Each structure stands twice: as structure tokens, then as C-alpha cells.
Amino acid sequence: MDFSSGAVEAYLAGLPYLLSHFVIAIVILIVGVVIQVKITSIDESKLIKSGNIAASISLAGAFLALSMPLAASLTVSMSLVSIVVWGFTAVVIQLVCDRLATIYVSDVYEKIENGEIAPAIYLVGIKLSVAAINSAVISS
């Protein structure tokens, strides 16, 4: 393999950008999930450790719902600053919509804490639907 080829040079030139964008996106995702966990009325991590499947579904839904618009924001961002701005905007919109969804689905976190799977799936469905719309809006 010729290491002076254009493909290898392009790869080596692009790798730092890929890694920096990836790391920033992961940090934003983690911050979003930490905020999500802090603003819920239950300790999903503790519930998951005790085998609560509903809490696991809920937290997995939070990860997916936050990552979808964040991924869309990466498609429109051309610099590290724009990734941060659009990424955090995506996360804030998602968190606000999540709060509204929990108002709509009354006592959902108490039901999740009690291990009820149906409300967890319903809440995740709402989160993912909003995430899909949020993603489309951000990437348009």
C-alpha cells in the first residue's frame, strides 16, 4: 500500500476533524443524558441495577431521543462552534419536549418506578417521534 496516495492523505487529513466532531458530540450527548436523568423524579440508574426493565427502556429512549437530533445537527455543522451551538440547541429542544410529554403522560415516572413497561414504551414513542421531527427541522 502506497502511503503517499491521495486516499490515505485525505484520510489522515480528515481524521482529526472526525475525532474532534465525534468527541464533542459524545460530550453533548452525555451532558444531555445527565440533565435528563437529573430532571426526572426517579433514579433510573438505581432502578436499572435492581432489574427494572421499564427504567431501562426509559433511559435507552432518552439516549436515542437525544442522539437523533444531535446527529442531525452534525450534518449541518461545519465548525466545532456550530456543532456545539446546534448540538446544545437540539438537546434543549428535546429536553423541553420531554418535559411536555411527561405532563401529557401523567405519573409516568411513578409508573416506570413501579416497573410498568407500557407507560415507558409510550413515553419513549413520544420522545422518538419528537426526536425525528427535531432532527428533520435541524437538518433542513
Query: For the chain, which residues make up each domain, given as ranges?
Result: 6-139
**Single-letter code of the amino acid located at 34:** V
Q: Is the pLDDT of residue 18 over 90?
A: no
Distance between CA atoms of residues 84 and 104, nearest Å: 30
Predicted pLDDT at 86: 85
Burial class (CB in 10 A: 0-12, 13-18, 19+), 4: exposed
Model pTM score: 0.85
11 phi/psi in degrees, rounded to 5: -60, -50
For the segment 64-88, what is each residue's pLDDT rounded down to a tens digit? 999 998 999 888 888 889 889 888 8
